[in-house]
Amino acid sequence: MEREGCPVQRSRERILGLKGQLGDLEPLNRLLFIYEDIIWGRVKNAPFDSLLTLLQRERGAYKEPRLNLLLEELWEDLEKNRPIYESHVKALYCPSGECAPLKGAPCQIACPGKVDVPTYVALVGRGEYGRALEILWEDIPFPGILGRVCVHPCEEACRRAHVDKPVAICLLKRVAYDKGIESAKGPRNLPPLKVAEKVAIVGSGPAGLSCGYFLRKLGIGSTIFEAMPKAGGLLRYGIPRYRLPEEVLDREIQIIASLGVEIQTNTKFGQDLSLEALRSKGYRAIFLALGAWCSPKLGIENEDHSHVVDCLSFLRDGEKQEMVSGKDVVVIGGGNAAIDCVRTSVRKGARNVVLLYRRTREEMPAHREEIQAALEEGVAFRFLVSPVKIVVEEGRLKGLICIENELGAPDASGRRQPVPIKGSEHLVLADIIIPAIGQEVDRSSLCDVEGLSFKEKGRIFVDPETLMTRVEGIFAGGDLVLGPSSVIEAVEQGKRAAYAIKAYLEKRAMDSMPLLPKRYVKVPGIRRAASESLLRSRLEPHCIEGGERVCSFKEVIEEVGGLEAQKEGERCLRCDVCTGCGRCVSVCREGMQIGALRFSFVKDRPQETDPERAKEACIGCGACAINCPTGAITLEKEGSILSLSLVGMVLASHEAVKCKSCGLDYIAPFQRGFIQNGLPYHQRIALEEDLCPECRRRSRSV
């Protein structure tokens, strides 16, 4: 894809430019009509097929050389940028974002992995779980994992939040995996492997696995080298099993391996494996994805005591977890790792578990639902306190001296800085202390790689677009570049690295097109009553009972029922089709002076959503459907019923008036009344006639 913008828009500008020179020629008008159809997403007119036919038939057919030259240029541009044209027509999406009606759904734009959210959510809503899973595999390698641990930025962007609450997008991803894994056909359209091209990946966490997965989708073989006994990185050794069951993790890694991605465990880079050894074995590129496995120190007295255990060691070491049984445990920190530590401590039989955080609950970076779950499981939270000293008496850990804080001015993160309150020091009793104040990269294994440039906390400097380090052929991503990050961010890094490595191996510039959002299939809106869809409450996950929950590492969230998932899928407003432009609302309100449509999620003067308003006030004129640029809102006739629908949600229905002459249903009675009331008396249609316009003309011509 060229970087100067949308090729469809550029071609339209060429047509307008020539039209300014040659005047109002019919071929130029036809071309302009087709291009504007593509730009506005009017797919019902099949504009792409029309354009292909026109250009194939008429290139070189005119006496005017400038017109022939334009047609030739348009054909070359279409051939060069066919995927972008097809994206406009088949997916209603403009990858450059220049075509305003086709900028894409907010959820997909917000997702680092650019997952085709509206499509898989719609397929789950239809009960087509296998197809939904196959759509997910296009953009992410492990939907079952992400359906359980993703931080779901998509939900923060969901337009449904303007009505009530966002669609439970992450939960539906899990449903697609759980219910579709047996019927799905696996990742599709895999090309044969190019034997001459081999890539080494160091680290089998989410970034490394994703890089191997997407390289395989590009036809490039890779070997992942993992230091631990099993693959998965911090997915396996940093996330407790009550959040991510081992069988889900193992199965998804096995799917990646079954595609031809080699995984070699118990092989530590810098110890069992060197850069020279990799190059001597024919690996033409290397992707470093080591992960952030080190916990920073508190920097206070006595923190080297044996009963002070860093969070990552605690989460991956079963023996260290057994230490908390019957003990008072204090965890320091406010992130997801800290929450994992307190919830694990509860399950391992700790007597009391307290979490200390230096700011307030509102500023905690941990997931809201994880914080709430910890509270439900009996964890005590102490806010606005910071550790000062670990107290040890006669070799035994006694507790932690803390100082109280008040919040001052915002710091670099945008959160208010905690300021210690003098004289507020106090003792918090503890047998075990677990600091969970962050994660850092251990760069000791990279010391022998000459030329790498490091930033703070062990992170590596890379080109932000290609992820190549300052060493030719060596790429890096995930925590090694971003610092501690989410799983979906690591997936994006692995995907970006795969495409960058492919470009490097082919000795060309990287193409950003594959990293942009795509729509894979057009899924029709699910037919349902608007009132039912817009008034339905969000699906909240069901958790296992409290007693069973805190006494085992069984997955906390229970399996979601199919009917529940389908109803949640129906809550989606289908922003891949409806862009929320508000033209339907405006034409109904200002143009027709009716105001039957009230939606809070439109951009044009949003107001409170009223799903019953259209049913009461709509006259069935179809002005909203005529003016909708994407075909999201339609007025369709089924038998004698005229139905107004917004991406499947039936807003209003009318029994059409039947023509007494030909017997055809031709108009909604409310529209006929509306027209009559707007006409002078002598032009009004006699109500008792009930004739369609064609039959009326015939009767008057006799």
**What pLDDT does 689 receive?**
67
- A 10 A CB-CB count for 356 gives 24
pTM for the model stands at 0.86
Per-residue pLDDT tens digits for 84-137: 888 787 767 787 778 877 777 899 989 999 999 999 999 999 999 999 999 999
Per-residue pLDDT tens digits for 615-668: 999 999 999 999 887 889 999 988 889 999 999 999 999 998 888 888 788 888
Given a cut of 80, whether residue 195 has pLDDT beyond it is: no
Residue 655: which H helix or E strand, with range?
strand 649-655
Given a cut of 80, whether residue 375 has pLDDT beyond it is: yes
* Cβ–Cβ < 8 Å for 580, 543: no
Lowest mean pLDDT among 41-50, 364-373, 621-630: 41-50
Residue 576 carries which DSSP code?
Answer: T
* Rg, C-alpha atoms of the chain: 31
Given a cut of 70, whether residue 682 has pLDDT beyond it is: no
Given a cut of 90, whether residue 289 has pLDDT beyond it is: yes
Lowest mean pLDDT among 12-26, 88-102, 163-177, 515-529: 88-102
Per-residue pLDDT tens digits for 68-99: 899 999 988 888 888 888 878 776 778 777 88
Contact partners, residue 670, CB within 8 Å, separation at least 6: 618, 619, 620, 654
Helix (DSSP H) and strand (DSSP E) numbers for the chain: 29, 19
**What pLDDT does 702 receive?**
55
pLDDT bracket for residue 1 (50, 70, 90): very low
Given a cut of 80, whether residue 440 has pLDDT beyond it is: yes
Among 324, 389, 386, 333, which Cα is nearest to 352's? Answer: 324
* Cβ–Cβ < 8 Å for 307, 313: no
**What pLDDT does 4 receive?**
61
Q: CA-CA distances (angstroms) from residue 188 to 112, 182, 495? A: 22, 15, 16
Percent of the chain with pLDDT over 70: 96
Per-residue pLDDT tens digits for 496-542: 999 999 999 999 988 777 887 888 888 999 999 999 899 999 999 99
**What pLDDT does 688 receive?**
52
**What pLDDT does 683 receive?**
57
In terms of pLDDT, which residue wins out, 698 or 689? 698
**What pLDDT does 547 receive?**
78
| Six token digits for residue 59 | 């290139």
Given a cut of 80, whether residue 677 has pLDDT beyond it is: no
Could you tell me the maximum CA-CA distance found in the chain, to the nearest angstrom?
115
Rounded mean pLDDT, 407-415:
82
Given a cut of 60, whether residue 2 has pLDDT beyond it is: no
pLDDT bracket for residue 46 (50, 70, 90): low
Per-residue pLDDT tens digits for 135-162: 999 999 999 999 999 999 999 999 999 9
Contact partners, residue 635, CB within 8 Å, separation at least 6: 620, 622, 624, 625, 642, 643, 644
Distance from C-alpha of 465 to C-alpha of 496, rounded to nearest angstrom:
8
